[in-house]
Amino acid sequence: MHPRDQTIFALSSGRPPSAIAVVRVSGAQAGQVLTALAGRQPAPRQASRLLLHDATGQPIDDSVVLWFPGPGSTTGEDVAEFHVHGGRAVLAALLAAISAIPNTRAAEPGEFTRRAFENGKLDLTEAEGLDDLIHADTDRQRRQALRQLQGLLGDRARDWRERIIEASALIEAGIDFSDEGDVPAELRAPATKAIKALHDEIAKVLATQGHSERLRHGLVVAIAGEPNVGKSTLMNQLARREVAIVSPHAGTTRDVIEVQLDLDGYPVTVIDTAGIRETDDPVEQEGVRRARARAEDADLVLWLVEGAAAADPDAMRSLRKSGDSDRGDGTVWIVRNKIDLGAAGPGGEFGISASRGDGIPELVEAIVKFATEFFGTNEGALVTRARQRDLLAQASDSLRRSLELIEEGEELAAEELRAAAYALGRLLGRVDVEDVLGAIFQKFCVGK
């Protein structure tokens, strides 16, 4: 039997031990699994309390069982769920009993969702939204992922594709009736109007997107500067816990330290880097190299200086990125530490005491404001991945070319419309996407 025709099972809840564990089974043998373990199939979509037994008749657990006959299930196949106590021994016995039934096997990562996709329960944009929802760390990421899961982009793409097909039908009708005098011209006008409207809509989406893609990855803030100016202490203040070793000796931080923060719902990765200076120590040299690389790739660099010391303009200039507009402009802020000792900087610079916490709330507030401008307004954002953007751009380019070619010949315009519809079909995962399915679904956890 082909693996796709086998019945799959997996733990679909958290890691044991836990109060309750959910084991899900999907496939043609799901009903047989239910009968073998619970003695019967309960009424569809009604929770039933049943005692589970293995093949030898030994009891496994007192369980709540649910039965979802296909196609009215999450995967489109017959699905059974066992809600059992979440002890390791209970789960081991239950999974062993299921695996003993012919043509059943453990599910691979994302296989339940992939079967739902293949059975038309969700399109590829919704599957990507589910993946983003699973991996969402902040409330803003969660809201964006949920909109995608609910079909925000997929519904628009389906509407665009249907309208492209309608315009294509008009163009091809003009080709079929090319010997009927003014018929082609009469069909060309409404087709041109529809194509232009479609192109303008998609172009507008592409022009205003980008923020939502950034939100998936988060804002990267690097703390940089010369050795022993308080970078690790500032890192601990921002994280509100000790994540970096603080020492009065220069060169303590040899590698890059990262911490994930949630600032007002925005995902922020703060990086503590090794002190940037010239050194003969090969280990510290490698730390400095890594520090420069991470700081150059950061969206915001907090260049820490001690007291009223002058900030090295050449060192700061070397950290500004060159051309990766999708990841910001490599903004560098000067942050003066140890203001409690009387040091003060010129206007436009931040003054803090990393040891006492003075000025930290103001610095955090400024970072949140920077994040707000960096991510922009994404409540109505459609595009969240580069794959989606690339396919929308292909559709937009094909629509533009069809408008340019329609006066030269309907055949060329019709071919470009077919290309646009094909790109949107790939966006939804309905045509020629086998090459991307593995990459997408393998990122899911087992049991989802």
For 262-319, the pLDDT digits (tens) are 888 888 888 887 555 555 556 555 656 666 676 777 888 898 888 767 666 666 665 5
Residue 330 has a pLDDT of 65
For residue 325, the model assigns a pLDDT of 37
In this predicted structure, the answer to whether residue 207 has a pLDDT above a threshold of 50 is: yes
In the predicted model, what is the mean pLDDT of the chain? 82
| Percent of the chain predicted with pLDDT > 90 | 38
Highest mean pLDDT out of 201-205, 312-316, 337-341: 201-205
Verdict on whether the full-model pTM lies above 0.85: no
3-state SS, residue 40: coil
pLDDT of res. 149? 86
User: Residue 293, by phi and psi: left (phi above 0), alpha (psi -120 to 50) or beta?
Assistant: alpha
**Pair 77, 54: CB distance under 8 Å:** no
Q: What is the mean pLDDT of residues 429-448?
A: 72
Q: How confident is the model at residue 4 (pLDDT cuts 50, 70, 90)?
A: confident
What's the confidence (pLDDT) of residue 439? Answer: 67
Contact 388, 127 (CB under 8 A): no
Q: How far apart are CA 173 and CA 393, in angstroms?
A: 27
Q: Which residues contact 134 (CB under 8 A, 6 or more apart)?
A: 444, 445, 448
Confidence (pLDDT) at 395: 95
Look at residues 117, 114, 145 and name the one whose alpha carbon lies nearest to residue 131.
Answer: 145
- Determine the Cα–Cα distance for residues 345 and 334; give it in Å rounded to an integer: 9
What local confidence, expressed as pLDDT, does residue 51 receive?
Answer: 96
CA distance 36 to 19: 25
Dihedral angle sign, alpha carbons of residues 162, 165, 169, 170 = positive
Side-chain-side CA neighbours of 431 within 13 Å: the count stands at 12
Per-residue pLDDT tens digits for 138-174: 888 888 888 888 888 899 999 999 999 888 888 877 6
Q: Which residue has the higher pLDDT, 283 or 38?
A: 38
Residue 123 has pLDDT above 60, yes or no: yes
Query: What is the distance between the alpha carbons of residues 91 and 236, in angstroms, rounded to a whole number?
Result: 41
The mean per-residue pLDDT over the stretch 10-27 comes to 93
Nearest to 231 by CA among 283, 170, 306, 148: 306
Q: How far apart are CA 336 and CA 304, in angstroms?
A: 6
Residue 164 has what pLDDT? 92
